[in-house]
Amino acid sequence: AQRVTQPEKLLSVFKGAPVELKCNYSYSGSPELFWYVQYSRQRLQLLLRHISRESIKGFTADLNKGETSFHLKKPFAQEEDSAMYYCALAGGTSYGKLTFGQGTILTVHP
Amino acid sequence: KAGVTQTPRYLIKTRGQQVTLSCSPISGHRSVSWYQQTPGQGLQFLFEYFSETQRNKGNFPGRFSGRQFSNSRSEMNVSTLELGDSALYLCASSSGLPNDEQFFGPGTRLTVL
C-alpha cells in the first residue's frame, strides 16, 4: 500500500524566513513524488516533481529514499507563497492515480 | 490551451438520488482521473480512464462508476446517494503516460441532503 504523510496541517512563517513543508511516504517500489499547490480561489496545480530536479518559484524538494521523505523548501518565503500544499505519490504503473497527503496550509505573514 | 472543465460546478441532491458529473480534458489528453475531496479524508482517487477504458480504480463502492467517450470527455455517476457522498469531485487530465503531470479542473461541489 502507498501512503503519504504531511505532519503539519498549518505552518506560519514571516516574510523572508525559510520555510520547510514536510512530506514522508510509504511505498515498496520506486516512487514518483510531486508537490501540488492550491492558491486561494484557484485550482490545484503542479508545483514541482522530483524527477525534474528544478526549482520553481524558489522552491526545491529532494527525494531522500533512506528517510522516505520529500520535503519542500524555500530559503526566503514571500507573502504570495501562502497557499495549501499537497505532497503526492505515484507508483510504478499505477496509471492516473496520485496518492495525496492531507495537505499543509502555509501562511506567510508580512 | 483551454484548461480542464467540469460541469456542473454545484449540485444539490437528496439521499437515494443519482447524479452524473462531467469532465472535459485538455485537448489532446487521453487520460482522465477522478478524485473525491472531503475535509475528513482529503483527496482520494476514484478511477482513471484512458481511451474509453478504465485502467485503474480506487477503493470506492460500486455505486461510483464512470465512463469515457471517444473524444476523451468523461462522466462519473454516483447512484443511491448517501449523505457521506457530499464532497468536492475533481477531475484531472493527462497524456496517459505513467506518472505524467495531471492538470486539474475546478471541481464539482456535490451536496447531498
* Per-residue pLDDT reduced to its tens digit, A60-108: 998 998 999 999 999 999 999 999 999 999 977 678 899 999 999 999 9
A7 phi/psi in degrees, rounded to 5:
-70, -20
What is the structure's pLDDT at A26?
Answer: 94
What is the structure's pLDDT at A93?
Answer: 66
Q: How far is A88 from chain B (nearest CA, A)?
A: 10
DSSP, collapsed to helix, strand or coil, labels residue A79 as helix
A100: which chain B residues are within 8 Å (Cβ-Cβ)? Answer: 42-44
Partner residue opposite B98 with nearest CB, options A44, A45, A95: A95
Which chain A residue lies closest to B104 (C-alpha atoms)? A44
Beta strands at B87-94 and B31-38: parallel, antiparallel or unpaired: antiparallel
Question: Is residue A87 within 8 Å of residue A101, measured between CB atoms?
Answer: yes
What is the structure's pLDDT at B57?
Answer: 93
Q: How confident is the model at residue A30 (pLDDT cuts 50, 70, 90)?
A: confident
Average pLDDT over residues B66-93: 97
pLDDT tens-digit map of B30-61: 999 999 999 999 999 999 999 999 999 999 99
- b/e map of B44-68 (b: 16 or more CB within 10 Å)? bbbbbbbeeeebbebebeeebbbeb
Q: Which residue has the cell 441532503?
A: B113
What is the structure's pLDDT at B36?
Answer: 98
What is the structure's pLDDT at A54?
Answer: 78
Partner residue opposite B104 with nearest CB, options A45, A101, A103: A45
Minimal CA–CA distance to A82: which of A46, A38, A22, A43?
Answer: A38
Q: List the end-to-end C-alpha distance of chain A, in Å, as a whole number.
A: 41
Q: How far apart (Å, rounded) are the C-alpha atoms in residues A31 and B109?
A: 31
B100 phi/psi in degrees, rounded to 5:
-75, 160
What is the structure's pLDDT at A95?
Answer: 81
Question: Residue B25 carries which DSSP code?
Answer: P
Q: Which amino acid is at B52?
A: E
Q: How confident is the model at residue A5 (pLDDT cuts 50, 70, 90)?
A: very high
